[in-house]
Structure 1
Amino acid sequence: MSLSKQELFDRIRRDSWQRQLSIRALSKKYGVHRRLVRERFPRPSHPAPPGGADVTVGVHVNVALARFS
């Protein structure tokens, strides 16, 4: 029995949600590559790395330059 692409994706999504199957388990169950399973799920957004740009350094430099002007 061959599933249409939409039916396959629906089953993958359902099994992922209901049975909490991993990407590897889903790909093995349905006989597809893990890349295809990953396509069906949104990528998690990555948080900003800690220690971002320090704006206060620029402020201190500008204040120091303003004093010498």
Structure 2
Amino acid sequence: MSDYQQFLAERDKIDYFIEKGFRIKNVEENLEGAFLLLEKSAGADKQEETLHIKHADSRKYFSSLLIRQLQKEK
């Protein structure tokens, strides 16, 4: 898989969960990339998903989404 294709695949995964109503709850970064914890609360039911984001451009992408999320919460 090309570098750009990897970015597109990771971006699409992130977008899929955001469109389904998930929010970014936590980010853990290490030398292997970032682990993105997403959470969706629907009443008493709570769902969590973890994505392993390896590509640098994908990490920049979810960072911009996180900033927008935080601005909406203010």
Normalising by structure 2, we get a TM-score of 0.35
Whichever structure has more helix as a proportion of its residues is 1
Greater relative contact order structure (CA < 8 Å, 6+ sep): 2
* TM-score normalised by structure 1 residue count: 0.37
Which structure is higher in strand share? 2
